[in-house]
């Protein structure tokens, strides 16, 4: 998805390929988050893991800090606070893209988004509450 909220070809392919298992869905969400990080910060995380737990989606991104952010935390005591504030604003800006991603891949609505970054480890966690537990292929009577 580009910054204007329009789907890119890779997004359409991601959603049209219809992941078949929980693992495939989680991997597709991880790939989408990696792409969003690249679009908004100029680089992607070194590792991303996604966990769908009932109506909660947890995304853990490692190695997300840019070289500038790393230098800022080392040089200024306010650096960590500034980075956290900036990352929160970026999350608010890309919320429409997150809503589309969740709706297209999981068939549910995004309710709330919570995020934080640890400037010491460069790890970021995003927790999203969904409007309901998604019906997953082959689970709880979901279609295969």
Q: Cα separation of 3 and 25, whole Å?
A: 23
Instruction: Pull the structure tokens for residue 109.
Output: 């609505």
Helix axes 22-41, 79-93, angle to 10 degrees: 120
Rg (CA), the chain: 16
Record: fold of 9-130: 3.30.980
Report the pLDDT value the prediction gives residue 13, as an integer from 0 to 100: 47
Instruction: Pull the structure tokens for residue 69.
Output: 């952010």
pLDDT tens by residue, 13-66: 444 566 678 999 999 999 999 999 999 999 999 999 999 999 999 999 999 999
pTM (predicted TM-score): 0.81
CB 131 within 8 A of CB 111: yes
Domain edges within the chain: 9-130
Q: Cα separation of 52 and 132, whole Å?
A: 12
pLDDT tens by residue, 97-129: 999 999 999 999 999 999 999 999 999 999 999
């Amino acid at each position: 998805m580009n910054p204007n909220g329009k789907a890119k070809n890779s997004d359409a392919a991601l959603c049209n390929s219809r992941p078949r298992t929980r693992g495939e869905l989680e991997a597709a969400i991880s790939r989408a988050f990696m792409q969003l990080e690249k679009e908004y910060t100029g680089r992607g995380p070194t590792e991303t893991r996604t966990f769908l737990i009932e109506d909660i989606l947890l995304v853990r991104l490692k190695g997300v800090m840019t070289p500038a952010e790393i230098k800022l935390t080392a040089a200024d005591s306010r650096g960590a606070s500034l980075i956290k504030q900036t990352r929160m604003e970026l999350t608010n800006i890309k919320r429409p893209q997150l809503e589309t991603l969740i709706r297209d891949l999981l068939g549910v609505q995004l309710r709330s988004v919570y995020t934080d970054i640890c400037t010491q480890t460069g790890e970021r966690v995003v927790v999203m509450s969904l409007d309901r537990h998604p019906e997953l292929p082959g689970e709880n009577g979901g279609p295969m």
